[in-house]
Amino acid sequence: MRKNSVLSSHGTRKKVRTYLAATQAKNTQLAYQSDIAHFLKSGGKIPATPHSVASYLAVHANTLSLATLNRRVVAIGHAHKDKGFASPTRSALVTDTLRGIRRINGSRQRQVMPLLKADLVKIARKLTGLIGLRDKALLLIGFAGAFRRSELVALQVEDVRFVAEGVMIHVRRSKTDQKGVGRNVAIPYTKGSHCPVQALKLWLKKSGIKTGALFRRMNRFDQVTDYGLSAASVALIIKQRVAEAGLNPKQYSGHSLRAGLVTSAAKAGVSSWKIRQQTAHKSDVMLQRYIRDGQLFQNNAVSQIW
């Protein structure tokens, strides 16, 4: 009886660890692990003192972005919480150090170039072969759905439903939906030879994929494998394809597809609430950066007087 009780206890603890791990997205967990590794490599320890964390921030203030520093602080806090230690990141010394870095270095974030519709079509024209079909479907669907790269690589064939109007794609979980409620994204058929829906249909037909990961790795013989793409590989594909189109790959990232849809829609005069319907942004605040940049040349003061 006691042995069964112990086994049951071990099984319960394993389940608890599984559920605790599920409270954070996999990409977030990996980012936190990388952050802690950098902190430890820089001489930090867990548990840490407020002074050691503040010193770490000061040393790297000019080499790391404010967003990265903020995430490192959160990761350090989580590491202490996981081990049952009081977090030094809540101390006034740490928060004031961050505030000072923000004031001196500014809080402007690196803004990647949006991959606009015109450039996307230019890229799509050059894509050939089975790997070209995959990348064409990946880029067009990523753009039309305003998907994050983590959402793209998480898509399964079972999440795709073709309807008379186009395709309905179910996103099971996203950065802003950690509870896994999910949402549906509608992508309609479009005019021209670079329709996202048709591109996706062709990829599924030619690849022979019937179930599992929607976008997959290819082996060196250009054969489809059973393994899905990683979030990092989406960024690499974007950089490779924009470079082939004569654009600067350093200016583009995995976020360029999502930013491209927002910017392109804003340029076309699409209302912010319709854009949010596609992107799932909670408010217009997060959209304003893209909308503002996309409309800088519309009714420009110079154009009005020249």
- Residue numbers annotated as active site: 148, 175, 255, 258, 281, 290
Contact present, 173 and 25 (Cβ < 8 Å): yes
Residue 258: which of 175, 157, 172, 167 has the closest Cα? Answer: 175
Residue 213: which of 141, 257, 278, 160 has the closest Cα? Answer: 160
Q: Which residues of 28-46 are buried (b: 16+ CB within 10 A; e: fewer)?
A: beebbeebbebbeeeebee
Q: What is the 3-state secondary structure (H, E, C) of the chain?
A: CHHHHHHHHHHHHHHHHHHHHCCCCHHHHHHHHHHHHHHHHCCCCCCCCHHHHHHHHHHCCCCCCHHHHHHHHHHHHHHHHHCCCCCHHHCHHHHHHHHHHHHHHCCCCCCCCCCCHHHHHHHHHCCCHHHHHHHHHHHHHHHHCCCCHHHHHHCEHHHEEEECCEEEEEECCECCECCCCCEEEEEECCCCCCCHHHHHHHHHHHHCCCCCECCEEECCCCCEEEEECCHHHHHHHHHHHHHHCCCCHHHCCCCHHHHHHHHHHHHCCCCHHHHHHHHCCCCCCCCHHHHHHHCCCCCCHHHHHC
